[in-house]
Amino acid sequence: MMPRLATRPKRESWSRAEVPITPARPLVRPAPRSAMFFPLVVLVAVLPGLYALNSWDLNPPGPWWGLRGLAVLDGMVVDQVPAIANVKPMHEARAFRAVAFQPPLYAWLEAVGLALSPDLDPRATVLPSYVGGILVVVLIYLHGRLWHGPGLGLIAALLMGFNRNLLIQMQEATPTTLGLAGTLAALLCYGWHLRAGADSAPFWGWSGTAASTLLGGLSLGLALMSLGGLGLICIPVILLHQAYLHAGTPTGGRAGRWWLSWRNNPSLIAGAVALAIGLALAAPWNIRMYATYGSQIITAALAPLTPHSQQSTGLLGRLVDLAPATLPLGIYAAVRMIRLGLTDESDDREVVGGVFWVLWLAVAALVPTLLPSGPRPALGLFLLAPLNLLAARAITDLASREIPIRTLTWLAPATAVSIAWWASANLRGAMDDLAHARADSATALGLHLALDLLVVAVVITRGLDRWARRRDDRQRQVLGGFLATVLIVTVAAGIKEICFHHKETDDLLNLRAMILRRNREQPFDLVAVVSPELSRQSEEGSAPGGRLRFILRSALPHLNQLDLTSTDDLLALPKGQRLVILAGTGQRLSYAVQSRLGLEAIHPGRSGVLDAFATATVIAEKRSK
């Protein structure tokens, strides 16, 4: 008899077949392509500035802000003006006083960084500026994504993150980037409020109008506590945009009561609430300072301390310096947005956002004329933000072929001229000589080279236009080459800036390291700085000035600096562990004086500009015994 195979009962197989089989799900749900833009934006915002921190500098007014942060650690949390008692030279005291009258948010953040850093590291004073620059790049991306999409936002963030002007401010201990971030955040919250109202979003919740109003008020308060009244620069931008949105619409009331139409405008009501929140955050400190110092704080707010090396130039010169490679693209996009804004009747999101950027650009261009003594770096970056957004709009429209490629016949030569003007100091000097009737042979040569460059650019552009006129593949190559050149020039200018190292800052940091090492071995009892007489010091003199004072204050916070005008004054100093620094040209400490004072060199400076001496080790050991 043959063996039989075992079989399952039919009921059991039916019951297994009735169990539904669920499809296999991935361990990690795939994200849409648009979700990958934000990590790239974070890298663009973090990496250039992070590398730039290796070459940070102590250019004024950075050292005065550092001294103000140290004053906060000494207990002067609200008012740091009394710390001026430790600053004896008049020009240095005047500079510190101008900085001490500015809003204190940056000084508070500096104090937090200094308290957490080892030995009050001066690099901690630059971290708030670096974080502010990161926020600026991220906010530019959010502005672009809000009105046009993540692609435009990524391009705008790339143009902003590698811009040399932003990287310069991220290397300095000033509240410029922090205040700009607050202003950009307030404008972004206004855009969120408009979008939430158009999409009928709920009042409460993260996507509601209440959240955007609250965040806008906090952002405005951040700007006011960083840059003072300059943070209110976003208000005329919002008012002009509201006037554009409601132009030609009936007010709903009688003709004589048009001023009451704001009651039916939720954006203006939300803006008023945000303004009240911002003013409420900034009012206590300003009221306290005004009650103490009166109108002096208003005078300091209208004329903040800025580097004297910055020269006042016209609007076109400032635009070329801000964005030489993308200026023609930004101007073309602005003109195009004006034309679309005047003809559009459907309230298209991209058109509304483009008009918003144009109005932003117009206000930023006019403010320096109305406020000539305002902070030039902050005003320049506020002008750069909408210019980069408009340039990114032109790049995306060119890439999507919404703008005809024949536009490059004048865009490419204009871009070449803009880059040449920015890169060539001789060309700028020739035009300046011609404008001021100082023309000579060098002026003629510079203008001849500029004309040759323009002719060559036009001829090459015309030739490429004829070569790619009826071939789409060739047009794509020309367009890709032009856009790649614009991006490469922008990125290369930023990389060149972050690779630049400041020798003066390196010398001061090396001096500080030597002082800390010597102070651990034998603590100092006295710090004396011999600097030139005030009559021989100019505002941009060779003496380190506030830089040296900040370095010494951070290295030896328990000692006050003695300011001397001659090496002969060293003979009257009391005995003890001395630290003597020669600051400025023409200062020499003879060997006889060194031997009489018992000093030895611990840091040789650059030709006597920054020489440091300390009590000899042998003498210190004898005194200790």
At 196-216, the pLDDT tens digits run 766 655 655 555 678 889 999
State residue 462's pLDDT score.
78
User: 29 in a domain, yes or no?
Assistant: no
Contact, 97 vs 296, CB < 8 A?
no
The predicted pLDDT at position 542 comes to: 40
pTM (predicted TM-score): 0.87
pLDDT value at 245 more than 80: yes
Same domain, 183 and 239: yes
* Cβ contact 44:162 at 8 Å: yes
Domain extent at residue 473: 402-498
Whether residues 439 and 418 fall in one domain: yes
Q: Confidence band (pLDDT; 50, 70, 90) for 359?
A: very high
256-269: pLDDT as tens digits:
454 555 566 778 88
Residue 73 to residue 53: CA distance in whole angstroms: 23
Per-residue pLDDT at 222 exceeds 70: yes
- What is the count of structural domains for the chain? 3
Shared domain for 488 and 516, answered yes or no, is no
Instruction: Looking at the structure, tell me whether residues 538 and 525 fall in a common domain.
Output: yes
In a domain, 45, yes or no: no
At 476 the pLDDT is 86
| One-letter identity of residue 267 | S
- pLDDT of amino acid 574: 83
Question: Which of the four pLDDT bands, split at 50, 70 and 90, describes residue 495?
Answer: confident
Residue at 224: amino acid letter: L
What's the distance, Cα to Cα, between the start and end of the chain in Å?
A: 115
Is 468 within the bounds of a domain?
Answer: yes
Considering the domain boundaries, does residue 484 fall inside one? yes
- Among 439, 469, 498, identify where a domain stops: 498
Assigned domain for 60 exists: no
State whether residue 528 is helix, strand or coil. strand
Residue 518 and residue 434 in one domain:
no
User: What is the token pair recorded at 361?
Assistant: 């650009």
516 and 603, same structural domain? Answer: yes
> Rounded to whole angstroms, how far apart are CA atoms 411 and 495?
25
2 in a structural domain? no
Q: Which of 73-77, 156-160, 230-234, 437-441 has the lowest mean pLDDT?
A: 437-441
Q: 88 vs 31, which has greater pLDDT?
A: 88
Same domain (yes/no): 493, 511: no
Range in 23-27, 222-226, 401-405 the model is least confident about: 23-27
**Per-residue pLDDT, 251:** 46
Q: What is the mean pLDDT of residues 285-299?
A: 89
Q: What is the mean pLDDT of residues 274-303?
A: 89
187, 267 Cβ separation under 8 angstroms: no
Give the start-end residues of each E strand in 506-587: 526-530, 561-564, 578-583
* Domain contains 231: yes
511-548 confidence digits (pLDDT tens): 899 999 998 888 898 898 887 654 455 444 444 458 88
pLDDT in tens, 95-143: 888 899 999 999 999 999 999 988 889 999 999 999 999 999 999 999 9
Beta bridge partners of 321: none
Local confidence band at 425 (pLDDT 50, 70, 90 cut-offs): confident
- Written as one letter, the residue type at 34 is S
Report d(CA 127, CA 274) in Å as an integer: 28
Give the count of alpha carbons within 13 A of 33, CB side only. Answer: 2
Buried b (16+ CB within 10 A) or exposed e, 278-297: beebbeebbeebeeebeeeb
Domain match, 180 and 299 both:
yes
Which of 69-83, 135-149, 309-323, 566-580 is least confident?
A: 309-323
585 & 599 share domain:
yes
Statement: residue 5 has pLDDT above 70: no
Tens of pLDDT, residues 89-101? 788 888 888 899 9
- Run of H or E including 611: strand 610-615
Over 80: is that where the pLDDT of 253 sits?
Answer: no
Q: How many whole angstroms separate alpha carbon 125 and alpha carbon 63?
A: 9
| Residue 296's pLDDT band (cuts 50, 70, 90) | confident
Both 283 and 186 in a single domain?
yes
Tell me what the pLDDT averaged over the chain comes to.
82
Q: What percent of the chain has pLDDT over 90?
A: 36
Residues 493 and 555 in one domain: no
Shared domain check, 542 and 461: no
Concatenated DSSP letters for 135-175? HHHHHHHHHHHHHT-HHHHHHHHHHHHT-HHHHHHHTSSSS
Quick check: 349 pLDDT over 70? yes
- pLDDT by residue (tens digit) across 361-384? 999 999 988 888 778 899 999 999
Rounded to 10 degrees, what is the CA torsion of 300, 303, 306, 312?
A: 180
Q: In this structure, what token pair is assigned to residue 258?
A: 């048009």
Residue where one domain finishes, among candidates 447, 463, 498: 498
In a domain, 520, yes or no: yes
